[in-house]
């Protein structure tokens, strides 16, 4: 069932990892992702393991980041969300790990308004104000992208594309690593570029 993008105040707890408040954990490419409990936009609780059997794309976002604006103001991110989830076999989770008082922090109400303003199309938007999910995946930037296979193996992590500019004009002609990874999976071949250096604004974690 598609999860609505209207958000309630969300909490997130990591079930399989114990994280410090400062250090970032790391999920190695090619390894199983840790199971964790997240609260969706309707206030319903799910485990990442609930999505076994579907591909999962994770996207970290921050509305104040010019690199995020590059991909949303151009409609590039929305088009990718829609194309990725069109077949019903892919789940797209947009994650906001900005802490209260920091750039990009959203309440459920404001995040819902933002999704409507952007005409965004994720399966769900997760609020992660404590930074637990972000630290579990070692998310460093907005955007920072991850692709997970139906057996819950992480097969891509890094940038959305290969042009590190914040100028929307640079999207045309850039290789979109997320689209390429999904195409490789569709074709039954290994992901050609399993990792890249993420670019964008730093995730505004809780101090």
125 burial type by CB count under 10 A (0-12 exposed, 13-18 middle, 19+ buried) = buried
Angstrom distances, CA of residue 19 to CA of 80, 99, 133, 135, 156: 31, 16, 10, 7, 22
Residues 130-142 have pLDDT tens digits of 999 999 999 999 9
Query: What is the residue extent of each domain of the chain?
Result: 25-202
Q: What is the pLDDT of residue 51?
A: 93
Residue 161 has pLDDT above 50, yes or no: yes
> Which one is predicted more confidently, 3 or 151?
151
**Strand-strand pairing, 90-96 and 55-60:** parallel
Q: What is the pLDDT of residue 41?
A: 67
Distance CA 79, CA 181 (A): 16
| Cβ within 8 Å of residue 56, ≥6 positions away | 48, 90, 91, 92, 93, 146, 147, 148, 152
The stretch 47-52 carries a mean pLDDT of 91
Residues 107-120 have pLDDT tens digits of 888 988 999 999 99
| Pick from 2-11, 56-65, 128-137: least confident | 2-11
Residue 102 has pLDDT above 50, yes or no: yes
The closest alpha carbon to 114, from 141, 164, 82, 77, belongs to 77
104 pLDDT band, cuts 50/70/90, is very high
Distance CA 160, CA 164 (A): 9
Q: What is the pLDDT of residue 82?
A: 97
Q: Is the dihedral of CA 146, 12, 106, 25 positive or negative?
A: negative
Structure tokens belonging to residue 38: 């997240």
Residue 84 has pLDDT above 60, yes or no: yes
Contact in structure between 103 and 204 (CB atoms under 8 Å): yes
Query: DSSP assignment of 103-134, as one string?
Result: TT---HHHHHHHHHHHT---SEEEE-TT-HHH
What's the chain's average pLDDT? Answer: 88
Angstrom distances, CA of residue 35 to CA of 109, 127, 148, 164, 181: 27, 17, 12, 31, 22
Residues 7-44 have pLDDT tens digits of 333 333 333 232 333 356 689 999 999 999 987 767 77
46 pLDDT band, cuts 50/70/90, is confident
CATH architecture type of domain 25-202: 3-Layer(aba) Sandwich (3.40)
Distance CA 156, CA 163 (A): 17
Distance CA 197, CA 91 (A): 23
Distance CA 15, CA 38 (A): 10
> Which one is predicted more confidently, 4 or 58?
58
């Amino acid at each position: 069932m598609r999860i609505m993008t209207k958000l309630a105040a969300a909490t997130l707890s990591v079930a399989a990892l114990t994280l410090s408040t400062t250090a970032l954990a790391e999920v190695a490419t090619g390894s199983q992702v840790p199971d964790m409990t997240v609260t969706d936009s309707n206030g319903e609780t799910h485990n990442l393991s609930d999505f076994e059997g579907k591909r999962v794309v994770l996207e970290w976002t921050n509305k104040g980041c010019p690199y995020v604006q590059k991909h949303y103001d151009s409609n590039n991110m929305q088009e990718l969300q829609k194309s990725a989830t069109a077949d019903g076999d892919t789940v797209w989770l947009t994650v906001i790990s900005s802490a209260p008082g920091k750039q990009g922090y959203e309440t459920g109400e404001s995040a819902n308004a933002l999704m409507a303003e952007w005409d965004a199309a994720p399966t769900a938007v997760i609020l992660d104000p404590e930074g637990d999910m972000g630290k579990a995946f070692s998310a460093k930037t907005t955007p920072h992208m991850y692709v997970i296979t139906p057996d819950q193996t992480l097969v891509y992590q890094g940038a959305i594309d290969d042009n590190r500019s914040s100028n929307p004009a640079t999207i045309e002609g850039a290789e979109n690593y997320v689209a390429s990874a999904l195409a490789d999976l569709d074709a039954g071949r290994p992901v050609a570029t399993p990792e890249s250096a993420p670019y964008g604004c730093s995730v505004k974690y809780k101090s």
